[in-house]
Amino acid sequence: MPTAYTSQQKSAIAQFISFTNTDRNMAIRHLKGQSWNVEAAANSFFSGGTGSGGSSASKSSLNKLFDKYREDPTNSPDKVNADGSMKYLNDINADPECLEYIAVAEIIQAPTVAEMTREGFVDGWSALGCDTISKQKAHVESLKRSLPTSLEAFTKIYKFTFGFAKPEGSKQVLLDFAIAYWELLFESPLSAVKWTLPNSPWSQWWAEFLRTSVKQSISKDVWTETLKFAQMTLNDESMSFWSEEASWPSVIDEFVDWVKKEKRPAEEVVDEEMEY
């Protein structure tokens, strides 16, 4: 009797075949080996099934590939700057204004926007077994499909973004940059944490509050706690989890107060009457 697969497993098989252009049996073999995780199975497939992806041949190919995008091989042999980075992103079909760009930047541990280092590029892609443009492009397509449902991947990208966005040598992200990245992270169709509800457009409120009420740059603590706060508000729109005694950053405390006064004044009046 043929093996019966769940609807989720059937969906994973279809996605794997779409990503890799392989047959059903190959898809099932790789998916079973990776506990039915489509992204991990695709990585296994593209790395030849070994999972290591770190062979000397792979790294040699990646070094040659990196060299193609350098603007100044003599003075900056191990760095790719803006022009080369944009060409590379175009080649792997990663839009620099979309979330997949941050996902790629995390893979190659890009030090900042529109910059790549040889070490990050080679180590990042060799670990995934993606030593050609076609494999990297396929991985990006896999990410586009898997990111919206992968909280683990989103959290990793979110944490990476703080260091990626802050100026070199600084411990904080400039406010305008923080707002822009938060909007990308929380509003992208690829986001696993879309910070909005029908009656509470949280991400828009957060950006409005920051632009009108906050002047300072954003610390790592605020960055980290904002994701936690966002997830909690999606589960508890009334913010009943929040209290003055809790150890939220002051910026988040001020945001809660701002929402109650600026966006929910009627609720604020009811609360005051109940206290009276």
Please state, in angstroms and rounded to a whole number, the distance separating the CA atoms of residues 125 and 128: 5
Q: Are residues 239 and 259 in contact, defined by beta-carbon separation less than 8 angstroms?
A: yes
d(CA 271, CA 276): 9
Q: What superfamily in CATH does domain 152-275 come from?
A: Cullin, PONY binding domain (1.10.238.200)
**H helix or E strand, kind and range, residue 219:** none
Domain boundaries along the sequence of the chain: 7-46, 56-146, 152-275
Q: What value, to the nearest 5°, has the Cα angle with vertex 5 and ends 152 and 51?
A: 45
Q: Exposed/middle/buried for 12, CB within 10 Å: 0-12, 13-18, 19+?
A: buried
pLDDT along the chain (276 residues), means of 10: 76 83 79 81 66 66 97 96 97 96 96 94 92 94 93 96 94 97 98 98 98 95 98 97 94 97 72 48
At 156, which amino acid appears?
K
How is residue 112 written in tokens?
A: 């900042």
CB half-sphere exposure, 151, CA atoms < 13 A: 6
Length reported for the chain: 276
Tell me the backbone φ, ψ of residue 59, rounded to 5 degrees: -70, -35
User: Could you tell me how far CA 77 lies from the centroid of its own chain?
Assistant: 29
CATH of span 56-146: 1.10.238.10
Please tell me the distance from the alpha carbon of residue 170 to that of residue 208, in angstroms, as a whole number: 25
- The pLDDT score that the predictor gives to residue 2 is 55
Tell me the C-alpha distance between 227 and 225, whole Å: 5
Rounded Cα–Cα distance for residues 261 and 269 (Å): 9
- Same fold for the pair 56-146 and 152-275: yes
Which pLDDT value is given to residue 166? 94
Residues contacting 235, CB < 8 A, separation 6+: none
Q: At what angle do helices 56-68 and 118-127 cross, to 10 degrees?
A: 130
pLDDT at 66: 98
105-141 per-residue burial string, b: 16 or more CB within 10 A, e: under 16:
bbbbbbeeebbbbbebbbbbbbbbbbbeeebbebbbb
42 class by beta-carbon count within 10 Å (0-12 exposed, 13-18 middle, 19+ buried): buried
Q: Which helix (H) or strand (E) holds 117?
A: strand 116-117
Q: What is the value of pTM for the model shown?
A: 0.80
Which residue shows structure tokens 């900056």? Answer: 76
